[in-house]
Structure 1
Amino acid sequence: MKAFHQALASSVVLASAFMMTDVSAAEESQAALQAQAKISQAQAQATALAKVPHGEVKSSELEKEHGRLIWSFDIAQPTVKGVTEIQVDARTGKIVAMEKENAAKEAKELAAEKNEGAAEKSASK
């Protein structure tokens, strides 16, 4: 019976470690990206907002896309439908992409990101 309790306790500890690994791995990867960025989020945001008159940042993200570390901003304007996505190189501070997105394209992009996140989570298990 003692062996059973030890095995059970070990299983609980192991399961907890796996759950914490998923969370800390995501935090670590974001921390690793932050460490690689030479341009702060505030600097990149100021660059992006300069391109969109009266814009308001709706979302922002530091990510690697096509091998490039970028700050990505979705910026809305009060009198314009959709958002403008602006990507700023996190190493140089230069705008690398600027694209107008409508609601349908935003929803499709969000769904793709969720699917990608779920696939990464499954792969890490």
Structure 2
Amino acid sequence: MFRFFAALLPVFFVSACFPDESISGFVEPTAEYHLVEIDGVPFNAIATISFPEAGKVEGQAPCNRYFAEQTAPYPWFGLDGIGATRMACENLSAETVFFAALEEMMLAEASGDTLILSNTDGREMVFVAR
């Protein structure tokens, strides 16, 4: 048993040498970013995004909590396996707009308390940490 763990030890050390290259490594892990606009239009529902640990994304859409993985190296952005709770509310149309835009984002720019997600078609989501 000891030989098994001794053989795995170098793997653990090597993996610890590589920093998180996803957006999680470039933002404050305790920050919660609130969506303020999509494509220059104010977003009047509540939607958030946060990056609590390497490659992890979670947040609150207008109706539901969601989670996903983000493995692209910064400044690239892309979510894999978006999962969400399935509750209905009066802001379901805003949630549809939010998720549709979020899935299209390809680039991230984190500067101070502002996070901008964008794509090559000129679409943009602006978030501010609170």
Question: TM-score, structure 1 length as denominator?
Answer: 0.35
TM-score by length of structure 2 reads 0.35
